[in-house]
Each structure stands twice: as structure tokens, then as C-alpha cells.
Amino acid sequence: MRHFFSEEGALEHRPIYDLQRRAVWIGLALVLQSLNEVKHELYEPLLQPFGSLIPFALILGSFYAIWQALRPARASSRATEIPSGPRLWQRVVLLLTVLLVLPGILAFGWSIRLSVLDPQFTNDGTTLDTNAAILLLQGRDPYTDSNMPEIARRFAIQSNWTTPLRVGQFANRLDYPSDAELDAVFKSSLKANFMPEFEAKVSYPALSFLTLVPFALVKDYNVLIFYLACYLLLVALAWRICHPALRPWMLLLSLANIPMWTSTIGGNLDMVYILLIVLAWLQRERRWQSALFFGLALATKQLAWYFIPFYILMVWRNQSFKEMLVRMLVAAGLALAINLPFILWNPQAWLAGVLAPLADPMFPLGVGLINLSVTHLLPFLPEKVYTGLELGTMAGALLFYWFHCRKHPELALLLAVVPLFFAWRSLPSYFYCVAYPAFILLVARLQPATRPALTAGTPSV
């Protein structure tokens, strides 16, 4: 326990003590999100529609745990001395987090093994991006020439790895197709060389596939190593910036981070954009570095766009309105410059691609509010209602951030994704890359000037 909880009771060690206790909440968030990785098919047939309450509660519980880790401390609690040791529930959460290390190590090993095998993209976004890099090297526009029959013949993809659309044989329905239905339609449509039921657009901004061009250039289409490198770089960054007394927590949480290991193994693009978001927030005192990292994030995936209003508020409140305008011009200009060749190539196709997640008729899916309707525990509401709930939650999150972004800029990592919980599609991957990166930003707030004084009184690690 001494490696994870400071034993000194002196007041000057309060910052270390406080961060160690907050790390417990991050560990709890990882435990809850890891439980969501248990196959839902194991309990949903037994619980029927009430089975959807389990992932709903697990993700909500993880939000609460992350909030407890990030929430501003009350003024009355800052002046008290630290207790002699951790509470029982904190010890229990630490033990549960340690138990996740073994599957985390196995996931790490499995990701390395998959990196040297033939590509198997369970995430169709990675398949589309890799194919886009290949098309680009052939001199073809990825946003116009991407098509599912060609992708299906180039890569060994399975029907349940795709994103079905509510068109063609799936038109006029809201219930997600079963695996048998997907497989039957996939095979028949592939045989006819016409597959409108499956999303084939390059659905992300251009940097999502430009980063994969080196792999296509050497004809090595297993790009998993790139996403694994992004996660390992995030862990290395966390190790470098944190206080020595917090490094055991950083290492433990990185290994026990089953949600992000799952995203890594799946070749999830979230690994790239969240790394860039963390770098943009860490460098927030430096105009060019922060703006450039943020621009790269905007050019990678639309989820980064949810951070735009939070970045605007953070720079505005901590710097000035003029500084905010300059940084946004730099970030938006960089994102536009990266995408400009494809916009000029075919503006309609590029716009249709980046807006596909919003504009294309996708099935309702996720672990948020929509899941209660998917399982018929609640009736389906019009899609505009979910959009309204999402926008309303975003407005409340921005209002809260306006008052707290000066002292607690890391709150943006949680507040930016919570609105997606109420969206038409609330995939668990939207929320998996929040807890650990948020803790990195929280730890980075420990002022360098206080670190030497604290180091002398912290336990050896």
C-alpha cells in the first residue's frame, strides 16, 4: 500500500495525497468500464429488456467515478491534514484494479501478436481508412472511390464488422439486424456487386488515413502497430510528467486500462485523436504547440470537434479573447489545409464522408439512453429528441466549464463526451478513452515549483 498511498501526515504533502485518492476513482471507472466488456449476450437473454440497464448503469457509474476524480475540491477540505491511511473501500478498489493488470498484460501481448499477423479489422473504420490510403497511392480519390465490394474482396472482413445502414434490405426498420441477417445480406449483396446496406464512405477527416499511407506504401496493411504506438506514447508521456510518488498509479492504471486496450486491439482511431487532445491541453500555455496539436486532432476524427467549444472557453478564460481567436485560426487552418486537397478534389464527396456519421441512416446503437429503446424497455423517440438532449447536455456542460476551466481545465475530457450518452448512437468506444487521459491532465496540474519540496517527503517507489 505504501507505493500507492502516502503515509506522511504533514500538510505540505496534501497535493500528493489528494491525487493518490483521486486515482482510486479513476481505478473504479476502469473497473466499471471493463465490466461492460463482458459479452452482453451472456446476461441479456436472461434479463430480457432489463439487461440493457447493466451497461447503462456501468457507463453512468464510470462517469460518476471520473467526476469524483476531477471535481474541484471544497475550500474547507484544503486546510485539513491528511488521514493516516486509505479507507477500506479505497483498498478494495485498488485490489480490483490490480486484478485487471493480468488481463491488461494479456491484451498487451495479444496486441503485439496481432500486429505481426494478417490484418483483421474488427473495426470497419480502420478497414475504410486503410483502404483509403491504398486508393490514394493509386491516384484515386478515397472519398469517391471507396466501395464495399472492393473492400470486402481486398480484406478478410466479416459482416458483423461492418456498419449496416437502414436502406435496401434493411430499410424501414429500427431493430439492429442479427448476425445471421447481416451475413445473409452481406453475401447476397457482394455476389450482386451492389452493397448499399453497408457503410462504405470514408467517414473521417483526411488525417485518419494519411497517417496510414506509409503502411500502404510498403504494402503492409496491418496498421495495428500504429494505434498501439499511440497508446504507449500516451503512457510514456504520463510517466514523464507525473510526480515520482504517482508513477505506481500511472503504471497500474495503464496496465489495468482494459477499455483502452480494447480500443487499441480494435485499431480504434480514438487512440490517435485523444493523444493529440491531451497534448493540446498539456501545452495550453504555449500558443503554437497547443494550437497545432489541436488542429491535428480536428483533422483526425469528428469526436475531436466536440472539444472545440471547451478549447475556446479554456483559452478565452485563461488567456484572452484575442489569443483564443489566434489559436482557433491556427488550429482550424491546419485542419483545413490537411483536408483541402480532398475538398478541392470533390467537395460534395468529402462533405458526404465527414458528415456520414450524422447524415447517413445508421441504426440506433450504444450503451446510453438509446439502448433502453433498442431493447424495448422504453419506446423509441424521434431522432431529433435525442439530438435535442445531446445539445442540451452540451450547453449545460459548457456553462459549468465556463466557471471552472481556469483552475480545472482537465474537466473538458469528461464534459465533452457526456452529451454523447444521450445521442442516437452512443458507442462505448466514445467513452473508453476518457478516464486515463483525464488523470494525466489532472496530475500535470501539480506545479513544477512544488515538486522538489514534495519529493523529499514522499515514500520511495
Place of cell 451472456: 42
C-beta separation of 234 from 404 below 8 A = no
- Band (pLDDT 50/70/90 cuts) for residue 3 is confident
Q: Summarize the confidence of residues 423-436 as an average pLDDT.
A: 95
The one-letter code for the residue type at 51 is G
The CA dihedral of 93, 255, 293, 450, to the nearest 10 degrees, is: 60
- pLDDT, one tens digit per residue, over 305-352 is 999 999 999 999 999 999 999 999 999 999 999 999 999 999 999 999
pLDDT reading at 436 higher than 50: yes
C-beta separation of 263 from 271 below 8 A = yes
H, E, C per residue of 39-66: CHHHCHHHHHHHHHHHHHHHHHHHHHHH
Does 97 fall in a domain?
A: no
* DSSP secondary structure string for all residues of 70-108: HSPPPGGGTTSPPPSS--HHHHHHHHHHHHTHHHHHHHH
Note the pLDDT of residue 75.
56
Over pLDDT 70: what percentage of the chain? 93
Q: Summarize the confidence of residues 261-280 as an average pLDDT.
A: 95
State which residues form the domain around 384: 11-87+268-455
- pLDDT, one tens digit per residue, over 102-158 is 999 999 999 999 988 888 778 889 999 999 999 999 999 999 999 999 999 888 888
Does 125 fall in a domain?
A: no
The one-letter code for the residue type at 256 is A
Distance, CA of 259 to CA of 6 (rounded, Å): 28
Cell numbers given for 415: 464534459
Q: Which long-range contacts (CB under 8 A, 24 or more apart) does 17-23 make?
A: 17/82, 18/73, 19/243, 19/246, 19/249, 19/442, 19/443, 19/446, 20/245, 20/246, 20/249, 21/86, 21/90, 22/68, 22/69, 22/70, 22/439, 22/442, 23/69, 23/246, 23/249, 23/253, 23/439
- Band (pLDDT 50/70/90 cuts) for residue 428 is very high
Cell numbers given for 440: 494525466
Q: What spatial distance separates the first Cα and last Cα of the chain, rounded to whole Å? A: 11
Which helix (DSSP H) or strand (DSSP E) does residue 112 occupy? Answer: helix 101-115
CA of residue 297 relative to chain centroid, distance: 12
Distance, CA of 262 to CA of 34 (rounded, Å): 9
- Band (pLDDT 50/70/90 cuts) for residue 277 is very high
Counts of helices then strands in the chain (DSSP H, E): 26, 2
Note the pLDDT of residue 111.
94
Place of cell 489559436: 327
Number of domains observed in the structure of the chain: 1
pLDDT reading at 70 higher than 60: yes
Note the pLDDT of residue 453.
37
Nearest to 136 by CA among 209, 204, 199: 209
Does 139 fall in a domain?
A: no
Does 376 fall in a domain?
A: yes
pLDDT reading at 80 higher than 70: no
Note the pLDDT of residue 447.
52
* DSSP secondary structure string for all residues of 226-293: HHHHHHHHHHHHHHHHS-GGGHHHHHHHHHS-HHHHHHHHTT-THHHHHHHHHHHHHTTTSHHHHHHH
- Band (pLDDT 50/70/90 cuts) for residue 449 is very low
Classify residue 302 by its DSSP letter: G
Over pLDDT 90: what percentage of the chain? 80
Q: How long a stretch of residues is the chain?
A: 461
Does 400 fall in a domain?
A: yes
Distance, CA of 158 to CA of 181 (rounded, Å): 12
Does 154 fall in a domain?
A: no
Nearest to 273 by CA among 300, 293, 234, 235: 300
Does 375 fall in a domain?
A: yes
Does 403 fall in a domain?
A: yes
